[in-house]
């Protein structure tokens, strides 16, 4: 790794500018290549053994009618993922991603499976309209489990996904509290609420924020308002940053996890911008606003609102392409191709 990131940036940018193309013609792919090179500290960045990890848990707040689907769907969808029938399963196979599902707190016990990691702290969070979603100890345990999980994974890239009925409510609450944004800008339809359902969800979440008005410090906010899968994902993000693994962040809930992780450490927001690639802007209300507030730009905007890591899997080939272009394209000198003509003095253009 280079000891001078500015010098490394100049070398990589010089390489990009002298490939056989007009300067900047590969658009955001060039920025991606530079970002990964700087994160890995090398002119020859490479992504190895990518791990798509889906963090799953249930939420007690579902009892307040904030989701269009019953809580039982969490366990059913985890089973579908493990059987290979979910969207993320299809995309993981297509793009050569190793898929792992982590049971962080699914209410229904799940049978053992080679792709299932047991990390169940409790059978879902408490109903945050009545009590903190997690105790401080449970939140810390979830963060630690996420870090330990990453330590056991091979490779140098982690794609973050999630599954948990009700977790768009937890993410909206964290957005409002950690981002300081109005709640109405944070709450969306989640799994497809109609207008009446959305209005009810907003009323419930307003009561939750009021109940936990004192939980403003990041650890306290994550425990009071978050979810077991969000806290575990945050721990995974922190460990990925420590190990310089690239994080590919899926949608709204995964953004909540990395934003919470960033809030937990002094240098967090710089790490988030350098060490995360944000896959897409989801159709969930508030996601694009939060990404803008964090100062990051998503790769895709396809109207997705599925979760699971599906957007991260779809964005993955763009990352691979960006690095392949940096590594394998010829420069003008290598290919014997003439460069663009420099404008003569007084030349008015082509």
Options 138, 184, 308, 334, the catalytic residue? 308
Mean pLDDT on 161-179: 98
147 and 20 part of one domain: no
Asked if residue 247 belongs to a domain, the reply is yes
For the entire predicted model, the pTM comes to 0.95
Asked if residue 343 belongs to a domain, the reply is no
14-19 long-range contacts, CB within 8 A, separation 24+: 15/43, 15/326, 15/331, 16/326, 18/331, 18/332, 18/333, 19/325, 19/329, 19/330, 19/331, 19/332
Percent of the chain with pLDDT over 70: 97
pLDDT of the residue at 3: 75
85: exposed, middle or buried (C-beta count within 10 Å: 0-12, 13-18, 19+)? exposed
The band of 346, judged by pLDDT with boundaries at 50, 70 and 90, is: low
Number of structural domains (the chain) is: 2
Q: For residues 190 and 219, what is the distance between their CA atoms, to the nearest angstrom?
A: 25
CA 56 to chain centre: 14
Asked if residue 302 belongs to a domain, the reply is yes
> Of 315, 202, 201, which is closest to residue 251 (Cα–Cα)?
315
Q: Is the pLDDT of residue 100 over 90?
A: yes
Cβ atoms of residues 228 and 57 within 8 Å? yes
Asked if residue 341 belongs to a domain, the reply is no
- Is residue 308 flagged as an active site residue? yes
58 and 27 part of one domain: no
Q: What's the CATH code of the domain at 20?
A: 1.10.1610.10
38 and 176 part of one domain: no
Cβ atoms of residues 230 and 167 within 8 Å? yes
Asked if residue 312 belongs to a domain, the reply is yes
Asked if residue 344 belongs to a domain, the reply is no
Asked if residue 140 belongs to a domain, the reply is yes
Mean pLDDT on 76-96: 98
The band of 219, judged by pLDDT with boundaries at 50, 70 and 90, is: very high
Q: For residues 59 and 174, what is the distance between their CA atoms, to the nearest angstrom?
A: 14
- HSE on the CB side for 273, CA within 13 Å? 8
Q: Is the pLDDT of residue 349 over 50?
A: no
Q: What's the CATH code of the domain at 69?
A: 3.40.50.10210
Q: Is the pLDDT of residue 296 over 50?
A: yes
Q: Is the pLDDT of residue 237 over 90?
A: yes
pLDDT of the residue at 342: 67
251 and 330 part of one domain: no
Mean pLDDT on 276-305: 96
For residue 18, what are the contacts with CB-CB under 8 A and spacing of at least 6? 331, 332, 333
pLDDT of the residue at 350: 39
Domain around 331: 5-46+324-335
Q: For residues 195 and 186, what is the distance between their CA atoms, to the nearest angstrom?
A: 15
Q: Which of 87-91, 191-195, 244-248 is predicted with the least confidence, judged by mean pLDDT?
A: 191-195
pLDDT of the residue at 343: 63
164 and 284 part of one domain: yes
Q: Is the pLDDT of residue 191 over 90?
A: no
Asked if residue 33 belongs to a domain, the reply is yes
Q: For residues 298 and 318, what is the distance between their CA atoms, to the nearest angstrom?
A: 12
130 and 33 part of one domain: no
92 and 240 part of one domain: yes
CA 92, 162, 191, 250: dihedral to nearest 10 degrees?
Answer: -70
10 and 89 part of one domain: no
134: exposed, middle or buried (C-beta count within 10 Å: 0-12, 13-18, 19+)? buried
Mean pLDDT of the chain: 96
Q: Is the pLDDT of residue 347 over 60?
A: no
CA 243 to chain centre: 17
CA distances 16 to 90, 319, 341, Å, are: 34, 15, 18
Q: What is the largest CA-CA distance in the chain?
A: 75
151 and 258 part of one domain: yes
Cβ atoms of residues 220 and 231 within 8 Å? no
211 and 280 part of one domain: yes
146 and 270 part of one domain: yes
Mean pLDDT on 105-133: 97
Mean pLDDT on 218-232: 98
Mean pLDDT on 246-256: 98
Q: Is the pLDDT of residue 117 over 70?
A: yes
């Amino acid at each position: 790794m280079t000891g001078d990131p500015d010098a490394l940036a100049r070398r990589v940018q010089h390489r990009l500018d002298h490939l056989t193309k007009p300067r900047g013609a590969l658009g955001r792919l060039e920025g991606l290549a530079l970002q990964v090179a700087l994160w890995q500290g090398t002119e020859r960045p490479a992504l190895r053994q990518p791990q798509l990890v889906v963090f799953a848990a249930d939420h007690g707040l579902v009892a307040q009618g904030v989701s269009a689907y019953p809580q039982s769907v969490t366990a059913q969808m985890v089973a579908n993922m493990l059987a290979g029938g979910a969207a993320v399963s299809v995309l993981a196979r297509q793009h050569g991603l190793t898929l792992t599902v982590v049971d962080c707190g699914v209410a229904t016990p799940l049978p053992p499976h080679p792709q299932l990691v047991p990390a169940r702290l409790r059978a879902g969070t408490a109903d945050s309209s009545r009590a903190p979603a997690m105790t401080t100890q449970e939140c810390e345990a979830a963060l630690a489990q996420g870090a330990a999980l990453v330590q056991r994974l091979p490779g140098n890239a982690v794609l973050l996904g999630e599954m948990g009925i009700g977790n768009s409510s937890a993410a909206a609450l964290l957005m409002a509290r950690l981002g300081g944004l109005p709640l109405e800008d944070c709450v969306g339809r989640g799994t497809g609420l109609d207008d009446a359902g959305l209005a009810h969800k907003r009323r419930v979440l307003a009561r939750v924020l009021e109940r936990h008005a004192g939980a403003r410090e990041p650890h306290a906010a994550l425990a009071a308002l978050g979810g077991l899968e969000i806290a575990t994902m945050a721990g995974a993000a922190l460990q990925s940053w420590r190990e310089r693994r690239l994080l590919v962040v899926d949608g709204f809930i995964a953004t909540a996890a990395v934003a919470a992780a960033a809030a937990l450490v002094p240098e967090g927001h710089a790490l988030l911008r350098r060490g995360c690639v944000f896959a897409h802007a989801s159709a969930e209300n508030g996601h694009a606003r939060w990404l803008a507030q964090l100062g990051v730009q998503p790769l895709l905007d396809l109207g997705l609102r599925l979760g699971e890591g599906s957007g991260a899997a779809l964005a993955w080939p763009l990352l691979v392409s960006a690095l392949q272009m940096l590594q394998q394209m010829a420069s003008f000198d290598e290919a014997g191709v003439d460069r663009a003509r420099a404008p003569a003095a007084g030349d008015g253009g082509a």
